[in-house]
Amino acid sequence: MGDESQPTSGGSDSEGDQPIVRVVDLSKTYHTDASEPIYACRNIDFEMREREIVALTGPSGSGKSTLLHLIGALDTPDSGVIEVAGEPVTGIKGRRLAEYRRRVGFVFQRFHLLPTLTAADNVIAPLLPYKTSFDRRAKAKQILDAVGLAGREGSLPSKLSGGQQQRVAIARALINDPMLVLADEPTGNLDSQTGEDIMELLFGLRERVGASLIIATHDPGLAARCDRVIQIRDGRVIKDTTRPATG
């Protein structure tokens, strides 16, 4: 069984390699018309290794999505430090920010596919502002084939099932060969069998592209398969459990 530990205890493996993600004293507060502020993240500390798969769990509103958005530089913290692959994320702007986002893949619960674009064009969309050294369409086809959508490159999202749309979203996240994949409730809108298929795809990313994954989820089955489970409540890490090694 896993043991409760300090939030940073899972950060370094036995070989002492540099953590892929390092978060120190991270805080984010939202102020609304209500009298009480919303503390989305409060003094969060944790690290994760390369190729590690970490689940973020906790009730709705606990701060899981906010933490993902902060690590992905989709939002900015009020205080604290985020480092990814040894480079600071907090405070970066302009070209450096764009370059960082190119190295992070996002998978969201609601897919966020553009309805007028085909599956292949949705996968290619993140590349449009940039020059690439490879054939974009050929790579999109290759990735769509890898996620089980061979022959559906020309299909619009409206002609795809929910599970197929999520596969397109995963392919889109992989088009830039990300070092880190952030997935926010990736199985939340799917039936149990389709959710299981998506789980297999996500866990296969470590072997296929060497990615590290952080997955925010309410699904206990998905969380149980991750290397670590970090439980968040009211913006705080309350428990950080590492799954025992097997084999």
Q: What does the pLDDT read at residue 64?
A: 95
Task: Say whether pLDDT at 10 is over 50.
Answer: no
Euclidean distance between CA atoms 18 and 21, whole angstroms? 9
- Beta strands 53-57 and 212-216 are parallel
CATH code of the domain covering residue 245: 3.40.50.300
| Number of domains the chain contains | 1
Residue range(s) defining the domain that contains residue 229: 1-102+222-247
pLDDT at residue 95, as a whole number: 87
State the pTM of this model. 0.85
Residue 136 lies in a domain: no
State whether residue 129 is helix, strand or coil.
coil
pLDDT at 62: 92
Mean pLDDT calculated for residue range 111-140:
89
* Secondary structure (3-state) at 149: coil
Give me the residue label for tokens 């899972």: 10
Q: Which residue has the higher pLDDT, 197 or 32?
A: 197
Q: Tell me, what's the pLDDT at 140?
A: 94
Q: Which residues face 55 on adjacent strands?
A: 215, 229
**Would you place residue 11 in the very low, low, confident or very high pLDDT band (cuts 50, 70, 90)?**
very low
Element (H, E) at 15: none
Considering only the C-alpha atoms of the chain, give the largest distance between any 2 of them, rounded to a whole number of Å.
54
pLDDT surpasses 80 at 4? no
Contacts of 145 (CB under 8 A, 6+ apart): none
Give tens-digit pLDDT for 29-72: 998 776 688 899 999 999 999 999 999 999 998 999 999 999 99
d(CA 221, CA 225): 7
Coil vs helix vs strand at 98? helix
Residue 137 in domain: no
Which comes out higher in pLDDT, residue 9 or 118? 118
Per the domain annotation, does 9 fall within a domain?
yes
Q: Which of 219, 240, 237, 230 is nearest to 40 (CA)?
A: 237
- The pLDDT of residue 246 is 59
Residue 45 lies in a domain: yes
Residue 230 has pLDDT above 50, yes or no: yes
The answer to whether position 203 is within a domain reads: no
> What confidence tens digit (pLDDT) does each residue in 68-100 have?
999 999 999 999 999 999 999 988 898 899 889
Any idea what DSSP says for residue 227?
S
Q: What share of the chain is helix, strand, coil (3-state, %, to 5)?
A: 30, 25, 45
